[in-house]
Amino acid sequence: MPCNARCTSPLVAACVKDFPKADNDAIASKSIQACLNYTKDRLLPFIHRGSWDPHFDPWKDGQNASIVMTNGAQWQALRSLVSEKTLAQDRLHSLNQGKPVDPTFEKQAVQLVRTCLGLVKGTLTSLLDTWRGCEQIDAKRDMSRYALDVLGSAMLGQGFGAIDGKFDDTYRHYQVVMAEMLNPLYLTFPVLERLPFPRNLRFRKAVDHMYKVLEGAVDARIQQRREQMEAGTFRDEPQDMLDMMLGSGLDPKGVLPDGCMVPALWIFFLAGHDTTAVSLAWTMHFLAKHPEVQEKARREAFDVLEGKTDPDADDLERVPYINAVISESLRLRPPVYNLISREAAVDTELDGYAIPKGTGISLHIGAINRHPEVWENPLDFNPDRFLQDKQPRVFNYLPFSAGPRRCLGDKFSLLEQRTLLLKLLTQFQVLPDGDMVMQEDTYSKSAISLMLLQPEEIKVRVQQLS
Ligand code: HEM
């Protein structure tokens, strides 16, 4: 199935080709809904500051194009540039697999992984320090703070003061954006966005604030480079993703087309924060609920660390069981539960269902990840299934989606999650708090939870290991 310019539907195309019949059923029966579904166009307000302006045309060339909002050739160009210049690119993956890579890039990527790991470790140490002497912890809240500070450090070289409780102004505005960005009423009737409602004024103020923070971070970095160049101290070694995307010069648009830098940074925050936080919170929940799994993961963590307090990049590649725990948690509770919908690019048919061109299609990741014809005992939490020889086919396991639009931050998120688990397991025991079955059944009703599967709360108890 070809793609048209407005609607990239490679995933749908891939589904038609690659899904076994059972999954086609799941998609067709559970996931194909009417056009009220989210389409990428509807996500404009939080990504494009000008989207409440009736004259704003996000599809016009060079107007704040962002990777999530574009399709076709424009998306392809942005995707390869952004992925090339961040931790997301495939060559970093080859690096981890010991395959040959371009030596200039290798030097930069190795440096960046090391720097990012350093930043993650610092944030993590602060987080675990806040848990000492605590009986019960709010895992959902704390994982959210951890993921935000890690992302801030890795992207911009600065946290948001989330873990140390400073909660600067930016954090407050950021929360407004996160709470409102997928408001179903406004997604369905985007025209409401342009009316002078108090909600809209608050939302615009918050989006404006976030843009200013990101623009300010870019300007400050350019200014810092200028001073370093004048003093002859500038070293062309990226310290964070902003450095990678800026290249080695003084141009604020860096290696990207005009107007794309801030939307690119913005998207990484919006796509990378809550997703990782929710995944980690669910993993804490499963560890508490399955002590035998926790013990096995702890043994692996102790074996790999061999007495060290912090893992290095190699250690993170030697934790198959911990990796399987994360994979299983992502299977059962995929943070992106319902994939942002596409429109069918052409008239087509999916497992006997006619799909006219333009129909909104939303893939139900949650249903696919637990389909009984694909997964044995699909509702059981069983990390060992990811250690068996026969691994799930790509399109049977979709927490990060699949195909050309697969998540760009998956490797980064896994690095962040493995680091946390390695350190956590060697320092704390995670225990259930109250009725954990209840927790699994109470999902947040907030707007964002319509796409992200957010638990209402996840509380666990922690006990420091002696
Ligand atoms: C557990 C953590 C994460 C999960 C479950 C997740 C899941 C997803 C999914 C399902 C998509 C596909 C959306 C679609 O096809 O419409 C996606 C796209 C994306 N993700 Fe993630 N994500 C995670 C973490 C991250 C992180 C940490 C970052 C960045 C730092 C990130 C950046 C992106 C970007 C930029 C896209 C858009 C790619 C494109 O349209 O080409 N994600 N993610």
H/E element holding 460? strand 459-464
- Taking 80 as the threshold, does the pLDDT of residue 74 lie above it? no
| DSSP character at residue 254 | T
Q: How many residues does the chain have?
A: 466
- Taking 70 as the threshold, does the pLDDT of residue 9 lie above it? no
Report d(CA 423, CA 129) in Å as an integer. 12
Residue nearest to atom 6 of ligand 1 (CA): 400
| DSSP character at residue 311 | -
Given this model, what pLDDT does residue 21 score? 35
Strands (E), 81-120: none
Q: Is 353 helix (H, G, I), strand (E, B) or coil?
A: strand
Given this model, what pLDDT does residue 42 score? 42
**CA of 392 relative to ligand 1 center, distance in Å:** 20
Check if the interface score ipTM surpasses 0.90.
Answer: yes
Task: Please state the atom number of ligand 1 nearest to the C-alpha of residue 406.
Answer: 12
- Does residue 67's CB lie within 6 angstroms of at least one atom of ligand 1? yes
- Taking 70 as the threshold, does the pLDDT of residue 142 lie above it? yes
Report the share of the chain in percent with pLDDT over 70. Answer: 67
The residue to which tokens 């703070």 are assigned: 145
Model confidence at 208, pLDDT cuts 50, 70, 90, reads: confident
Mean pLDDT of 23-29: 38
- Taking 80 as the threshold, does the pLDDT of residue 85 lie above it? no
- Residue 122 or residue 105, greater confidence: 122
Report d(CA 458, CA 284) in Å as an integer. 8
Mean pLDDT of 178-194: 74
Report d(CA 142, CA 119) in Å as an integer. 17
Model confidence at 299, pLDDT cuts 50, 70, 90, reads: very high
Given this model, what pLDDT does residue 279 score? 94
Report d(CA 404, CA 386) in Å as an integer. 23
Looking at every residue in the chain, the average pLDDT score rounds to 74
- Does residue 458's CB lie within 6 angstroms of at least one atom of ligand 1? no
Long-range CB contacts for residues 193-199, cutoff 8 Å, separation at least 24: 193/45, 193/51, 193/52, 194/52, 194/53, 194/54
DSSP sequence for 354-371: EE-TT-EE--BHHHHHT-
- With 0-12 CB in 10 A as exposed, 13-18 as middle and 19+ as buried, what is 446? middle
- Does residue 46's CB lie within 6 angstroms of at least one atom of ligand 1? no
Strands (E), 288-447: 342-343, 348-350, 353-355, 360-361, 428-432
Given this model, what pLDDT does residue 219 score? 94
- Residue 448 or residue 364, greater confidence: 364
- Does residue 43's CB lie within 6 angstroms of at least one atom of ligand 1? no
- Residue 280 or residue 444, greater confidence: 280
- Taking 60 as the threshold, does the pLDDT of residue 91 lie above it? no
- Taking 70 as the threshold, does the pLDDT of residue 197 lie above it? yes
Q: How many alpha carbons lie under 13 Å from residue 203 in its C-beta half-sphere? A: 26
Q: How many alpha carbons lie under 13 Å from residue 94 in its C-beta half-sphere? A: 11
What are the residues facing 33 on neighbouring strands? none
- Does residue 337's CB lie within 6 angstroms of at least one atom of ligand 1? no
Model confidence at 455, pLDDT cuts 50, 70, 90, reads: confident
Given this model, what pLDDT does residue 363 score? 73
**CA of 232 relative to ligand 1 center, distance in Å:** 39
- Residue 305 or residue 65, greater confidence: 305
Residue 183's contacts (CB-CB under 8 Å, 6 or more residues apart) are 447
H/E element holding 464? strand 459-464
Residue nearest to atom 17 of ligand 1 (CA): 407
- Does residue 68's CB lie within 6 angstroms of at least one atom of ligand 1? yes
- Highest mean pLDDT of the ranges 100-104, 134-138, 284-288, 390-394: 284-288
Report d(CA 408, CA 413) in Å as an integer. 10
Picking from 90, 47, 21, 25, the residue whose alpha carbon sits closest to that of residue 340 is 47
